[in-house]
Chains A and B, each alone.
Chain A
Amino acid sequence: MPDGNAYDQFLDYANRANPYRLFPELRKTPVARQPDGSYVVSTYDEIVSLLHDPRVSSDLRNVPEIAAIALPPEHAPQLPPEFIRRDPPDHDRLRSLAMKYFGPPHSPDRISRLTPRIDRIVTDLIDGLAGRTRIDIVDDFAYPLPVTVICELLGVPKADEQRLHAWSQLLVGTNDPTTGTIVERNRRRFETMAELGRYFDDLVEAHLRDPGDDLLSALATDGEMARPDLLSTAGLLFVAGHETTVNLVTNGMLTLLRHPDVLERLRHEPELVVTAVEELLRYEPPIQMPGPRRTALADIDIGGTTIPKGSVIVLVLASGSRDPERFPDPDRFDPDRRDNQHLGFGGGIHYCFGAPLARTETQIALTELVGRLVNPRLVTDPPPYRHPPNLRGPEHLLVDVDRVEPVTRARAGG
């Protein structure tokens, strides 16, 4: 197809700034077979249905060519897939073990107790902008915030952050369907994960000798998770905590700057940030489609077609969240939207593990940014975008401001 179908156009970097205008065309075929035999699903009901369909596997080892990937000895040991790339019962077991130190039922207030710390990090980052009139929301704020939080939560030394960032970028690239076949990309992912695993193995040993109040120390000392799974889990949480919230915060600021009325309301109604962030997850989700591909374990009749057993399934969550059959006036950013069952965090058993953390960080971040940046203006609209179509977000977001309010005055002034 010379000019490409709607999905190819969606993948095309030329459309990164606004993929949403392609979705109505994409949704004309709710379940669309692609030339490579995969199926792209773009409508809300069909996506929700497949997210809850036990005939859909997240374990790519169900694709024989991927199951056959064996790393050469210099890359060994090869790590087992992370729980996001596993099916029940392993998925459920590993996710529950990780959840033990992250959330309910065992650690229900772990994330809410982080709020003051996140508040502090946000305040410090904005304090650091004092005296500036041009800010890069990405480099100066949205990137360092989640990275600091996830490093502290996991127990990763800040000094290692640069090295880890490089691996994280490589892994994000392996999720990007425009960078090679699914087999090539998975080979690269296995290689990078193996390197990351060797790093985390050393770190786990260090934490075992001197445990801290962090997730890795807790998981390592409790010993219920086998070491290879622990290393995969560490890699997953690090990368996921690293590469998604940055886009949510940045997309948030971009969206508010494009909707100055909402930005102004947020200054006076800080509680509005709660539903505004949910709307953001619907309207400008950082994850346009999940990186891990899914496969059909059986023939699945859906959306007027049959996905044959063995097919790769691509769920375009961002398109589902803009489906007019489900959301009235879907292309409008409405922070008061009710019944907002967006797909920003996916759904079903693989629902984003870190969602509560992402919400908390973004709610605090946007509240403080709009409270303290005086007269913020977009320098370029649209901003330059990072390459991946699935983990989508601006590379930089330059904003000019009159000044940065000190924290006390901004708070006292409401």
Chain B
Amino acid sequence: MRVVVDLTRCQGYGQCAFAAPDVFRMARNEALMYELNPDDSRRAQVLRAAAACPVQALVVDELGPLPAQASGHGRMPERVVIVGASLAGLRAAATLRRQGFRGSLTLIGDEPDRPYDRPPLSKQVLTGQVNAQQTLLPRRGELHAKWLLGTPATGLDLAAKQVLLADGRRVGYDRLLIATGVRARPWPNPAEAALDGVFVLRDSHDAALLHDRLAGGVNRVLVIGGGFNGSEIASVCRDMGLAVTLVDRGPAPLTGALGGVVGAIAADIQREHGVDLRCGVTAAALEGDGAGRLRGARLSDGSTVEADVAVVALGAERNVGWLAGSGLAAGVWGVGCDAGCRAFNVNGIVCDDVFVAGDVARFPHPVYGYQFLTLEHWGNAMAQAQVAAHNMIAASSDLWPHLSLPVFWSAQFGLNIKSVGVPTFADEVVFTQGSVADRRFVAVYGYHGRITAAVTFDQAMWLDFYRDLIEQAAPFPPTFDMVGKPGKVQPVPAEVPQRISALHDATVVVTGHDPAERRATLVTAGPGRAD
């Protein structure tokens, strides 16, 4: 049986761990670890756990409830093609069927596997609790879809309405969904990246390789990059009793996502857990032993780290190479689209038949000043895919906007870190509840006097309250009395790093004078490559 916990919903009540203690485990107060594929002999206790979940976040052999059937449809397309066969693609396919689409449905994926779940890769798969083949996402009911797996898309012909495949085939569509996601940013020096012992972690293949190496015993793991992925990897390695050095170019881990104030707390936590943390430095070079095996790294401050494994966790690159020259506004920033998930062409005009969802989508969010966001969150992929799928078959008068606030979670060092809103959209941060010393707190972020985000460490039950405050554009800092309010409530600068816009990589040439002739041409879209 396949267990899926929507950790976006999970608030850490622990009822599943009571009902099925062999399958669900609470690391500390809130962080939940669970078996993805418990033995069928445990079915009864897993079903008891699912029934007991107070927020119904736990489902068995499915992916959670889908939005109800749409009331009316536009003119139903005959052929829907989804490029990207991961969480967003699968969710969109299921939504299309649920909402009454009966035409032909094709899913194209570059990986050979059926859609699988990625969050466990940096957790249960690395520890060896489950193997990488066991993270396949469940599908309830038949999608009646054609699966073209292991066949990357290499191009898009907007005029002919065809997707080009690596094997030369052309797949025609009436509606297209682009859900190609991201890939791990590789180590920039190919020779060094090829050393035995250098890993990235994005897909199940990566996870299997890294797990096998770690389980075989290593002297020291060097994690390059202290974002969520790198920090989770460091956490798992420490759980496995491995020596870990983590280097991050910023002042502290997680700073890029949560700002320097909360990042400094994350740094303390990592050090308490025995991570050799080196901040404000970068890995200048990876060094081999002459026999092609990694020996260590030279850091930008001149120091060295001896390590037989290095995990490159430098973030992600969006899979847009196949869209080069297609006429869509696609580049390193992702694929631009409107809040209804309709793709922009290079002129910035929406296409009616091309949609975008998941990690690759760059969409405007009204709550954040209509700024364009790309989000690499499980919950965003789920929610946006549903909106995109609905809009692909809805009447133009019944389009849904993708307005849900970003929510994400991370389990590391026994803690459940959750966030709602956009913490980098902030100038100040204030601790409103709990205690930093106890590692249980709520940090609220504000921008120009209104609340824009909240981050909880083992305080997930309060998160929805702050979500509501963000949605109400409530004033920052909150001044009201609250339970668990610390003695001193004083906003401080959030220390959010200067946002470096990916857009500076876009070079657009505009030609023509007459409004009917004006056209944009995307000359460069950054270092995007063909996949």
- A-to-B contact residues, CB < 8 Å: 49, 52-59, 87-89, 91-92, 96, 103-105, 108-109, 111-112, 271, 274-275, 277-278, 297-299, 309, 338-341, 345, 347-349, 351, 355-356, 359, 363
Q: Check if B240 is an interface residue, CB within 8 A of chain A.
A: no
Q: Which of B65, B461, B482 has a CB less than 8 Å from the CB of A349?
A: B461
B484 near A88: Cβ-Cβ < 8 Å? yes
7 additional contacts, CB 8 Å, given A104-B21, A104-B26, A274-B51? A52-B462, A108-B17, A108-B25, A299-B480, A339-B56, A351-B13, A356-B52
Interface string of B25-58 (1 = CB under 8 A from A): 1111100000000000000110110011011100
Q: How far is the CA of A381 from the CA of B303 in the complex (A)?
A: 82
- Residues in B neighbouring A104, C-beta threshold 8 A: 14, 17-18, 21, 25-26
Report which residue of A55, A104, A109, A349 has the largest number of chain B beta carbons within 10 angstroms of its beta carbon: A104
In residues 421-448 of chain B, which contact A (Cβ within 8 Å)? 432-435, 438, 440
How many residues on the B side are at the interface (Cβ–Cβ under 8 A)? 40
B435 near A89: Cβ-Cβ < 8 Å? yes
- Residues in B neighbouring A278, C-beta threshold 8 A: 51-52
A54 near B465: Cβ-Cβ < 8 Å? yes
Report which residue of B48, B65, B485 has the largest number of chain A beta carbons within 10 angstroms of its beta carbon: B48
Q: How far is the CA of A49 from the CA of B108 in the complex (A)?
A: 42
- Residues in A neighbouring B54, C-beta threshold 8 A: 341, 345, 347, 351
B18 near A108: Cβ-Cβ < 8 Å? yes
Q: How far is the CA of A46 from the CA of B399 in the complex (A)?
A: 28
Interface of B is mostly: mixed
Report which residue of B44, B54, B55, B483 has the largest number of chain A beta carbons within 10 angstroms of its beta carbon: B483
B47 near A274: Cβ-Cβ < 8 Å? yes
Q: Check if B268 is an interface residue, CB within 8 A of chain A.
A: no
A348 and B483 contact, Cβ closer than 8 Å, known pairs A105-B28, A109-B21, A340-B56: no
- B-to-A contact residues, CB < 8 Å: 13-15, 17-21, 25-29, 44-45, 47-48, 51-52, 54-56, 65, 432-435, 438, 440, 461-462, 464-465, 468, 480-485
Q: Which of A89, A112, A274 has a CB less than 8 Å from the CB of B18?
A: A112
Q: How far is the CA of A105 from the CA of B48 in the complex (A)?
A: 19
Sample 16 A-B pairs with CB under 8 A, ordered by A number.
Answer: A52-B462, A54-B432, A54-B465, A54-B485, A55-B482, A89-B438, A104-B14, A104-B25, A108-B25, A112-B45, A271-B44, A297-B480, A339-B56, A341-B54, A348-B461, A359-B19
B483 near A54: Cβ-Cβ < 8 Å? yes
A55 and B433 contact, Cβ closer than 8 Å, known pairs A104-B14, A341-B56: no
B44 near A52: Cβ-Cβ < 8 Å? no
A103 near B461: Cβ-Cβ < 8 Å? no
A274 and B48 contact, Cβ closer than 8 Å, known pairs A55-B482, A356-B19: yes
- Residues in A neighbouring B28, C-beta threshold 8 A: 105
Number of A-B contacts (CB under 8 A): 108
Q: How far is the CA of A309 from the CA of B13 in the complex (A)?
A: 29
In angstroms, how far is the closest chain B Cβ from the Cβ of A41?
A: 15
- Residues in B neighbouring A108, C-beta threshold 8 A: 17-18, 21, 25-26
Residue of B nearest to A278 (CB): B51
Q: Which of A56, A92, A275, A351 has a CB less than 8 Å from the CB of B440?
A: A92
A297 near B483: Cβ-Cβ < 8 Å? yes
- Residues in B neighbouring A91, C-beta threshold 8 A: 483
Residue of A nearest to B27 (CB): A105
A112 near B19: Cβ-Cβ < 8 Å? yes
In angstroms, how far is the closest chain A Cβ from the Cβ of B431?
A: 13
- Residues in B neighbouring A339, C-beta threshold 8 A: 56, 65
A298 and B480 contact, Cβ closer than 8 Å, known pairs A104-B26, A278-B52, A356-B52: yes
Residue of A nearest to B32 (CB): A104
Residue of B nearest to A54 (CB): B482
A57 and B483 contact, Cβ closer than 8 Å, known pairs A278-B51, A356-B19: yes
A105 and B462 contact, Cβ closer than 8 Å, known pairs A55-B481, A297-B482, A341-B55: no
- Which 9 A-B pairs rank lowest in CB-CB distance, beginning with the nearest? A88-B484, A298-B480, A356-B18, A87-B483, A54-B482, A104-B26, A104-B17, A297-B481, A108-B21
In angstroms, how far is the closest chain A Cβ from the Cβ of B263?
A: 24
B484 near A53: Cβ-Cβ < 8 Å? no
In angstroms, how far is the closest chain B Cβ from the Cβ of A9?
A: 30
A88 and B433 contact, Cβ closer than 8 Å, known pairs A52-B465, A339-B56: yes
Residue of A nearest to B414 (CB): A105
Q: How far is the CA of A406 from the CA of B434 in the complex (A)?
A: 55
- Residues in A neighbouring B13, C-beta threshold 8 A: 351
- Residues in B neighbouring A59, C-beta threshold 8 A: 483
A356 near B25: Cβ-Cβ < 8 Å? no
- Residues in A neighbouring B433, C-beta threshold 8 A: 54, 88
- Residues in B neighbouring A55, C-beta threshold 8 A: 480-483
- Residues in B neighbouring A347, C-beta threshold 8 A: 54
- Residues in A neighbouring B464, C-beta threshold 8 A: 49, 52
B17 near A103: Cβ-Cβ < 8 Å? yes
